[in-house]
């Protein structure tokens, strides 16, 4: 079952208001990499009981062209991250976290392990892990944008940024949110 995604307007005021009323983190690369812009954010559930959040940004792909990064925080069983990953399940699947992590990110000031999630969709790279007791998904388009995971990824909760959200550059809404 597809969960309805509520997509919000693309501006600092909307992002700050959206983040502060939700009871889930809204993880965002902080600071945004050079040349990157915010291209979407939204949530699943109600404002008082959200089960997932998504933050989308776009910028230069290290291997050429442009790239999109979707960062999802969700309660187990919600399925937003897996939908963006192109999976038919509500979570990364059995055994995805076996063995050595494929990437690391600094999430809310804590080192966080991420594993590559196999997907039949060849147009994206997918990583998942756990942060703040919830699933954390990073879905990168195109698949070559997965090279970004070789760099240090630092994610901050937008709720903790305060007025710093005004420093984000905002672009056009990501087409990846239109399929939701």
Q: What is the pLDDT of residues 139-178, one digit of tens each?
A: 999 999 999 999 989 999 999 999 999 999 999 999 999 8
Mean of pLDDT values over 32-57: 95
Mean of pLDDT values over 67-96: 93
Mean of pLDDT values over 42-50: 91
Report the candidate in 155, 146, 157 with the shortest Cα–Cα distance to residue 32. Answer: 155
Q: Hey, what's the torsion of the CAs at 64, 31, 133, 146, to 10 degrees?
A: 10
Pick 180 or 76 by higher pLDDT: 76
- 110-116 and 103-107 as β-strands: parallel, antiparallel, unpaired? antiparallel
| Coil, strand or helix at 112 | strand
Mean of pLDDT values over 24-40: 96
What is the model's pTM? 0.96
Report the candidate in 21, 61, 16, 6 with the shortest Cα–Cα distance to residue 163. Answer: 16
| pLDDT band of 95, cuts 50, 70, 90 | confident
Question: Which pLDDT does position 179 carry in this prediction?
Answer: 62
Question: Which pLDDT does position 145 carry in this prediction?
Answer: 97
Helix, strand, coil % in the chain, rounded to nearest 5? 20, 40, 40
Query: How many Cα atoms occupy the beta-carbon half-sphere of 16 within 13 Å?
Result: 11
Report the candidate in 110, 117, 104, 95 with the shortest Cα–Cα distance to residue 149. Answer: 104
Question: Which pLDDT does position 3 carry in this prediction?
Answer: 73
| Residue 59 structure tokens | 């910028």
Question: Which pLDDT does position 112 carry in this prediction?
Answer: 97
Please give the mean pLDDT across all residues of the chain: 94
Question: Which pLDDT does position 2 carry in this prediction?
Answer: 62
The answer on pLDDT for 115 being more than 80 is yes
Q: How many residues does the chain have?
A: 180
H helices within the chain, ranges in order?
A: 12-21, 80-85, 158-161
| pLDDT band of 14, cuts 50, 70, 90 | very high
Mean of pLDDT values over 20-31: 94
């Amino acid at each position: 079952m597809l969960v309805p995604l509520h997509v919000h307007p693309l501006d600092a005021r909307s992002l700050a208001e959206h983040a502060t009323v939700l009871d889930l983190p809204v993880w965002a690369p902080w600071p945004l990499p050079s040349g990157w812009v915010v291209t979407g954010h939204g949530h699943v559930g109600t404002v008082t009981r959200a089960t997932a959040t998504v933050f989308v940004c776009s910028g230069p792909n290290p291997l050429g062209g442009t790239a999109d990064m979707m960062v999802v925080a969700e309660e187990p069983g919600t399925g937003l991250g897996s939908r963006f990953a192109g999976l038919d399940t509500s979570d990364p699947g059995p055994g995805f976290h076996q063995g050595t992590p494929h990437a690391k990110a600094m999430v809310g000031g804590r080192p966080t392990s991420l594993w590559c999630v196999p997907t039949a969709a060849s147009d994206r790279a997918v990583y998942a892990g756990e942060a703040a007791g919830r699933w954390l998904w990073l879905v990168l388009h195109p698949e070559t944008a997965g090279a970004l995971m070789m760099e240090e990824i630092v994610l901050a909760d937008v709720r903790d940024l305060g007025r710093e959200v005004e420093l984000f550059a905002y672009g056009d809404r990501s087409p990846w949110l239109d399929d939701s």
